[in-house]
Homo-oligomer: A and B are copies of this chain.
Amino acid sequence: MNGLHILAELYDCTRDCASTARCMTDVTVLAQLCRSACAKAGLTPVAEAFHQFKNPDGSSGGVTGAIVLAESHLAIHTWPELNAVTLDLYVCNFSQDNRNAAESAFSALIQAFDPQRLERREILRGLTPAS
């Protein structure tokens, strides 16, 4: 269960980029982006759950979702009205050190949203062995 959890807040995502806008508001596009980032990084999705929010006028709002991994999970929430995203990527090192895989998937997601400002925190989890 020991592993790396990256928590990030992405601000000022590129406003004029059509692909960023679609990732923010289209559940199909965001889910595919997340799947692709995990696959290219060599992570192992085992289940997923995504949801499209709607604005009061019926237009597409934010998207929220999670991919459950054999290595732990990815969770993402978009806030198009704030031009911001929150991202979690937690990878356990059960059979191997997955830090490089986590960094690879993280980079792919950051690249897609192109935030002008990024707050990133790392938490090392489960380092205290169970007695």
Q: Which residues of A contact B (CB under 8 A)?
A: 1, 5, 7, 9, 11-12, 46-51, 53, 64-70, 72-73, 75, 77, 79, 82-84, 86, 88, 90, 92, 117, 119, 121, 123, 125-126, 128, 130-131
Instruction: Kindly list chain B residues whose C-beta atoms are within 8 Å of the C-beta of A9.
Output: 1, 125-126, 128
Nearest CB of chain B from residue A6's CB, rounded to whole Å:
12
Contact of A47 with B47 in the complex, beta carbons under 8 Å = no
Interface of A (DSSP majority class): strand
* A123 with B121, Cβ < 8 A, contacts A64-B46, A75-B90, A86-B1 known: yes
Nearest CB of chain B from residue A75's CB, rounded to whole Å:
5
Contact of A88 with B86 in the complex, beta carbons under 8 Å = no
Instruction: Kindly list chain B residues whose C-beta atoms are within 8 Å of the C-beta of A77.
Output: 1, 72-73, 92
